[in-house]
Structure 1
Amino acid sequence: MATVGTRSTSDGNNQTAGRAEDMFERYRLSADWRLLPLIVYFPVGVVLLVLRLFLSMQLFIIATILPKSSRIRRLALRGSSFVLGLFVTVEGQEKRNDNCNVVVCNHVSVMDHCALETVLPAYQATQLSQQTTVSWFWSGKTFGVSDRHEDVLDRVTEYCQTEGSTPLLFFPESTITNGRVGILKFSCQAFKIGVPIQPVSVMIHKPSFLPIAVSTVDSSRLADFLWGLFSPVSVYHIKILPVIEPVSGDIPENFAEKTQIVIADSVQLKATQFQLRDKLDIISQVHGLLSTRSDSRLVGMVKQVKEVLPHVPNDVIQRDLQRTRCVDTTISNIVEGTIQFSPEAVPSSAQSRLPSSPVKAIASDRKKLGSLQPKPAPYRPLSLKERKKAFIEDARRRYLEKHGASQDR
């Protein structure tokens, strides 16, 4: 089995991991020898996926109809989870406090809540003041929509202080990590309630012979769920940790940091200072890189325009090419002043390729175009390639006439 969440550290947990990128998987599949068993397993995985999709509907019906505290519900969930390939092991049952109404856990997969349901029945509190489709689907509980945060917090506090209430489950990381490097900085939402916290850590084990990541940096919850059903088995190891009491006069940020370190220690990971916004920055960079790589033709067209008009910034050229998809049209737009931009400095290598003056450029154009005409034939129309070349040379000349003087200064 491959383990997610068991990389030990010896330099202390209250230190920041090297890079935020290390907290998330970049690709779903690994490009190594393990792709061969994946190809062999693929037909079996598809069959399991289809069967488990139907069975998962029964799982959610059971989770919706039966009360949270029902023992029958927990047994039914365990049986359904077994069919779905979810196996749950528990450690630290003796540390569970039934009077603690707030459960806090790290987040390593889209099925964490389902695994925890078989051990600690709880409502998932994704956001205190907003009921979303996702939170409803995962047995979320709302305490007011479009209300002031202070009023919602008061109702949550009253609920959690009521004896016998079903616990609220929080994932304060606010997103899924790969569980191999560290734990994201906790948000303070659950720690503003001011009640004891039941910390829980979760690790997931996957078959090592299948190179399938549980989640990627930009994957959707639906994609993670379907890949989870495709996998032969997922083993969740849940560790219940001692209850942490809030300290009188302490701020929520300190309470959150203390809980983060406790959970990080239990899975031998680092308590990092990275947050959800760091993941969003990574996603922006990834999508920008993918858009460039996915259109090599666009990159080539940008290079063509840049050779003709070296003073024009690349981003200006690329933006217009994405709209026109034509080198000639973009050059024409730039030369005619349709596109506004600030000219950039031209490298010496590019300067050496430019003609010394517009007059020489015109003479050179005429000479080249004239040499293209066969002597015996009285007249031959220019080919498309020749007309395109002449157009580019003319655009170069017109651009130099318009901007050359200012660049010389």
Structure 2
Amino acid sequence: MSQIDINELFDESRFPSGWRLFSVLLYLPIGLILVLFRLIVCLLLWLIAAILPDSQALRLFLNRGHAFAFGVIVKVSPDGEQKDEQIHVVIANSISILDYFVLSTAAKTMTPSLLNLPDSLSNALGIQKMNMNNKDVLVAEIKRFISNSKTSIALQPELDTTNSRKALLKFNTWPFCIEPAVQPVVLQAWRPEFVDIQLTSIASIWWMDIICFMFVPYTIFTVKFLKVKRNTDAHVLVREVEKDIAQNLKIETSLHTISDKAEYIKRHIMEEVRNQNQQNSIISDSQIVPSMEILRMVRQVSEVLPLVPHNVILKDLLKTRNVDVTITNILDGIVTYTPETVSTTIAPSSSTNKRYASTMKLNSNNSTVGLTFKEKKAKMISEARERYIEKHFLKDC
């Protein structure tokens, strides 16, 4: 067994990149129409199964109908062995949400499930309702089923899907405790290159996988039967079957189990949430980063009111986006601030210093005595504008 990184066993995204993604976008309108049409077909098939009495003809009709609705084409590989009708347990790798339907179509098997559907529909889909509360109860139910039926049971010891490109999940031993002989089966699938959407992705939702089956024009499954394996020791048998399936897929076995996948999904989701929060934070912060235009406006207000801190001016300008309105807000006392000291204020030019000193001296005498607040504000604005005009040599413009 090779201890490879678990992230190599799964696809983070089901969608391709590059020109293949562009082709998927071009195909999008057709895919959506197909999804809608196939959903209607599924609904009709469900109603037919619920209304009509169970029969072999109805089961065959429902099987073909769902193959169309899911866009599934099943082919049995001519390079493999024949299905051994004497073997009651079929072991396969897990690649998609519809593996049970594929195995039922190719090998006439049933897969244990918790779903309680009409008999005709269950048989058409290849699922058999069983008690799956724990392993021992399930094994007992399977043994009872195969003793009373000629139908084989299909089991997937990985217990969850992989991309089947790097390695298998470690096979669970309990499916090999049912009978000492099993027939391994290798599942593979392809989709058209122009709409190369993966069968599943990490942390994918089951109904989204189904929708993707309906979205693409078709999905071709290849079922390859391998030689029957026999061994009374379940722990030896599981490793032999696991090795055979991996070799036929030209991939490796691994020590990763379904529990490791569950933990990896948990970490993946937490990482996605963390990245999303960081991205939202960056976007939020970027919204308050002043643009060059805002910085220019801050300098204009600062030249008129040099004792007002820059951060106070910036905060109000981000709201008003207007120099005159911000100046008025500061002079009216709407915007409160603590005046900057001379050491923290950007030094104005020498001419501005002289003018500002003379203005302060003028304000210290009785020239403003008797003026109303509006008159004082107008006088301050006028003097501030004169300083701005003088600094930028705008008198003759």
Bucket of the pairwise TM-score, normalised by the shorter protein: 0.5 to 0.7
1:312-368 Cα offsets, whole Å, 9 max, x none, are xxxxxxxxxxxxxxxxxxxxxxxxxxxxxxxxxxxxxxxxxxxxxxxxxxxxxxx99
Secondary structure of the residue that 1:108 maps to in structure 2?
A: coil
Aligned to 1:28: 14
Higher helix share: 2
Q: How does 1:5-404 map to 2 (within 5 A)?
A: 15-16=1-2, 18-58=4-44, 70=56, 73-74=59-60, 77-78=63-64, 80-82=66-68, 84-91=70-77, 95-126=82-113, 131=114, 139-144=126-131, 150=136, 152-162=138-148, 164-245=149-230, 247-248=231-232, 250=233, 252-296=234-278, 299=281, 380=333, 383=336
Alpha carbons of structure 1 residues 271 and 161: separation in structure 2 relative to 1, 3 Å: farther
Deviation at 1:140, TM superposition (A): 3.4
CA distance in structure 2 between the aligned counterparts of 1:171 and 1:84, rounded to whole angstroms? 21
CA distance in structure 1 between the aligned counterparts of 2:254 and 2:227, rounded to whole angstroms? 21
Q: Which amino acid aligns with 2:145?
A: Y
Higher relative contact order by CA 8 Å / sep ≥ 6: 1 or 2?
A: 1
CA distance in structure 2 between the aligned counterparts of 1:154 and 1:84, rounded to whole angstroms? 32
Alpha carbons of structure 1 residues 37 and 298: separation in structure 2 relative to 1, 3 Å: closer
Deviation at 1:67, TM superposition (A): 7.0
Deviation at 1:29, TM superposition (A): 1.6
Q: Which amino acid aligns with 1:253?
A: H
CA contact (8 A) 2:176 2:238 kept: yes
CA distance in structure 2 between the aligned counterparts of 1:89 and 1:167, rounded to whole angstroms? 19
Deviation at 1:301, TM superposition (A): 11
Secondary structure of the residue that 1:125 maps to in structure 2?
A: strand
Over alpha carbons, which structure has the higher Rg?
A: 2
CA distance in structure 1 between the aligned counterparts of 2:49 and 2:165, rounded to whole angstroms? 30
CA contact (8 A) 2:6 2:256 kept: yes
Deviation at 1:239, TM superposition (A): 0.5
CA contact (8 A) 2:87 2:183 kept: yes
User: Unpaired runs of 5+ in structure 2?
Assistant: 286-306, 314-326, 339-397
CA distance in structure 2 between the aligned counterparts of 1:35 and 1:297, rounded to whole angstroms? 24
Deviation at 1:85, TM superposition (A): 2.3
* The 10-residue stretch of structure 1 (86-95 or 29-38) with the greater mean CA deviation from structure 2: 86-95
CA distance in structure 2 between the aligned counterparts of 1:301 and 1:26, rounded to whole angstroms? 24
Q: Which amino acid aligns with 2:33?
A: V
Alpha carbons of structure 1 residues 38 and 149: separation in structure 2 relative to 1, 3 Å: closer
Sequence identity (%): 20
Q: Which amino acid aligns with 1:272?
A: S
RMSD over equivalenced CA pairs, Å: 3.8
Secondary structure of the residue that 1:118 maps to in structure 2?
A: helix
Aligned to 1:337: none
Alpha carbons of structure 1 residues 121 and 262: separation in structure 2 relative to 1, 3 Å: same
1:83-105 Cα offsets, whole Å, 9 max, x none, are 64211110257521112111111
User: Unpaired runs of 5+ in structure 1?
Assistant: 1-14, 304-366, 388-409
1:37-61 Cα offsets, whole Å, 9 max, x none, are 1121110000111111122345567
Secondary structure of the residue that 1:200 maps to in structure 2?
A: strand
CA contact (8 A) 1:55 1:84 kept: no
CA distance in structure 2 between the aligned counterparts of 1:142 and 1:253, rounded to whole angstroms? 27
Q: Which amino acid aligns with 2:258?
A: L
1:171-224 Cα offsets, whole Å, 9 max, x none, are 211111112112111112211113421211110011122242211101011100
CA contact (8 A) 2:158 2:168 kept: yes
Alpha carbons of structure 1 residues 194 and 62: separation in structure 2 relative to 1, 3 Å: farther
Deviation at 1:283, TM superposition (A): 1.4
CA distance in structure 1 between the aligned counterparts of 2:48 and 2:248, rounded to whole angstroms? 32
CA distance in structure 2 between the aligned counterparts of 1:229 and 1:40, rounded to whole angstroms? 17
Deviation at 1:145, TM superposition (A): 6.2
Q: TM-score normalised to the size of structure 1?
A: 0.62
CA distance in structure 2 between the aligned counterparts of 1:301 and 1:90, rounded to whole angstroms? 53
CA distance in structure 2 between the aligned counterparts of 1:264 and 1:66, rounded to whole angstroms? 43
Alpha carbons of structure 1 residues 296 and 241: separation in structure 2 relative to 1, 3 Å: same
CA distance in structure 2 between the aligned counterparts of 1:72 and 1:215, rounded to whole angstroms? 30
Secondary structure of the residue that 1:295 maps to in structure 2?
A: helix
* The 10-residue stretch of structure 1 (276-285 or 234-243) with the greater mean CA deviation from structure 2: 276-285
Where does structure 1 differ by over 6 angstroms across 4 or more consecutive aligned residues? 61-68, 371-374
The size of the alignment, in residue pairs, is 297
Deviation at 1:227, TM superposition (A): 0.9
Alpha carbons of structure 1 residues 94 and 62: separation in structure 2 relative to 1, 3 Å: farther
Q: TM-score normalised to the size of structure 2?
A: 0.64
